Amino acid sequence: MSHDSHSAPALFTQVDITAGAQLTRPRDSQDSAEEQVGLLRSILAAQDRQNEILEELVNQLGAAQRQRSAELGQWKQANPELARGCRLAAEALSQVQVEFLNTMTREINENVDALMEGEFMLNEFVDRFGPRLAHLNGVLQILAQLSSTPNPANT
């Protein structure tokens, strides 16, 4: 096998690194520096604008959150018995959730090989536990939000 050295492009090139070689004129470097300063000022202005927009966004989201919190507080004051009932229900349902999670994890640990090997078993498991867990978590979240928070002075 012979290699034709003229058909292959060169893998290495030579670079002149001699000291004292000046590639740009001083006037060009001054223009370049002014251009860089201008670009940096443009970047700074854009960042300042982004910061203003982010502050507006935080204020909007904060205002909406404060409004929801105030409305929820008003609801709790208007319905103190129901808020206490929601707290008790959330505490009871959290115990149910713990038992459900114990059952689910026991089922996983006992059937890990079958779940990994068979798509049917995995689908059955997800169908059996998935919707209940999702709904249980949703109900708990709602009850927790509507429940009255215990007064630290009373506890």
pLDDT confidence of residue 139: 94
Give the three-state DSSP class for 109: helix
pLDDT confidence of residue 155: 36
- Please report, in tens digits, the pLDDT of each residue of the chain (155 residues total): 555 555 666 666 666 666 655 555 555 778 888 999 999 999 999 999 999 999 999 999 999 999 999 999 999 999 999 999 999 999 999 999 999 999 999 999 999 999 998 899 989 999 999 999 999 999 999 999 998 664 444 43
Please classify residue 53 by burial: count the beta carbons closer than 10 Å to its beta carbon, then call 0-12 exposed, 13-18 middle and 19+ buried.
Answer: exposed
Q: Is residue 151 domain-shared with residue 105, that is, in the same domain? A: yes
Who's near 139: CB < 8 A, 6+ residues apart?
93
Q: Is residue 101 domain-shared with residue 42, that is, in the same domain? A: no
pLDDT confidence of residue 152: 44
Q: Is residue 57 domain-shared with residue 107, that is, in the same domain? A: no
Q: Model's pTM, two decimal places?
A: 0.54
Q: Is residue 49 domain-shared with residue 118, that is, in the same domain? A: no
Is residue 22 in some structural domain?
no
Q: Is residue 70 domain-shared with residue 87, that is, in the same domain? A: no
pLDDT confidence of residue 15: 63
How far apart (Å, rounded) are the C-alpha atoms in residues 82 and 114?
45
Tell me the two tokens of residue 105. 């994890």
Q: Is residue 93 domain-shared with residue 62, that is, in the same domain? A: no
pLDDT confidence of residue 153: 44
Q: Is residue 70 domain-shared with residue 136, that is, in the same domain? A: no
pLDDT confidence of residue 29: 77
How far apart (Å, rounded) are the C-alpha atoms in residues 148 and 91?
12
How many structural domains compose the chain? 2
Q: Which domain holds residue 140?
A: 80-155
How far apart (Å, rounded) are the C-alpha atoms in residues 133 and 150?
27
What are the backbone dihedrals phi and psi of residue 19, each rounded to the nearest 5 degrees, phi first? -70, 145
Is residue 70 in some structural domain?
yes
Task: Examine the fold and report which residue of 78, 111, 143 is the final residue of a domain before the chain moves on.
Answer: 78
